[in-house]
Structure 1
Amino acid sequence: MKKIFAVAVATGLLSLAACNTSPREQAADKIESNTEAVADNLEDAADATGNEAAEATLENKADAVRATGQNQADDMRTNDADTNLSNGI
């Protein structure tokens, strides 16, 4: 229940933060939010398994999902999608 409440609060805060942001920033926030939810689900599955090796594998996958999401969000924020060049060039 606490996790559901935390996700609801985070979603609400992201909604408020999105009011004054660019479409690119909103897309980056969605990427982060979605990958965070996937990683949380993987961690929940890891906690539910009785096998230590499977738990470690799921935890590693969760870490990889978070890192990938962060990299994609950072790329969304700093690169121009139309030209694939960094902003300011």
Structure 2
Amino acid sequence: MKKLFVPIVAAGLVSLAACNTSPREQTADNIEANAEAVADNLEEAADNAGTDAAEDALENKADAVRDTGQNQAEDMRTNDADTNLSNGL
């Protein structure tokens, strides 16, 4: 059940984000939703880790993925796509 929850929530967020927003805002929301889904999966893996060190490493990776997703989404929202070549748009 947990494995289905994350994609369903991500799909719900994407569909809500599509209401009356610009393509750039939709892309930023998708970036955040995808990063959140990946981070959630990493946290689930951390819960099942065999050692404390492995659990800590996976939780740190989840935090890093969330931060990267938020930074990329913010970058998408605030920068001109013509000058922001790192986002691929």
TM-score by length of 1: 0.82
The offset of 1:12, in angstroms, is 2.0
Measured after TM superposition, the shift of residue 44 of structure 1 is 0.8
Structure 1 partner of 2:60? 60
Unaligned runs of 5+ in 2: 85-89
Which of 16-25 and 63-72 deviates more?
A: 16-25
Alignment correspondent of 1:40: 40
Q: In 2, Cα distance between the equivalents of 1:78 and 1:23?
A: 13
Give the Cα–Cα distance (whole angstroms) in 2 for the partners of residues 6 and 48 of structure 1. 17
- Residue in structure 2 matched with residue 24 of structure 1 by the alignment: 24
Deviations 1:38-71 (A, max 9, x none): 1111111111112000000000000000000000
User: Is this contact kept in 1: 2:31–2:73, CA < 8 A?
Assistant: yes
Partner of 1:87: none
CA distance in structure 2 between the aligned counterparts of 1:27 and 1:80, rounded to whole angstroms: 13
CA distance in 2, matches of 1:9, 1:69: 17
Contact 2:6 2:40 in 1 (8 A): no
Determine the C-alpha separation between the residues in 2 that align with 1:53 and 1:38.
Answer: 20
Matched, 1:11 2:11: yes
TM-score, with structure 2 as normaliser: 0.82
Tell which deviates more after alignment, 5-14 or 29-38.
5-14
Structure 1 unaligned runs (5+)?
A: 85-89
The residue that corresponds to 1:70 in the other structure is 70
Aligned AA for 1:70?
Q
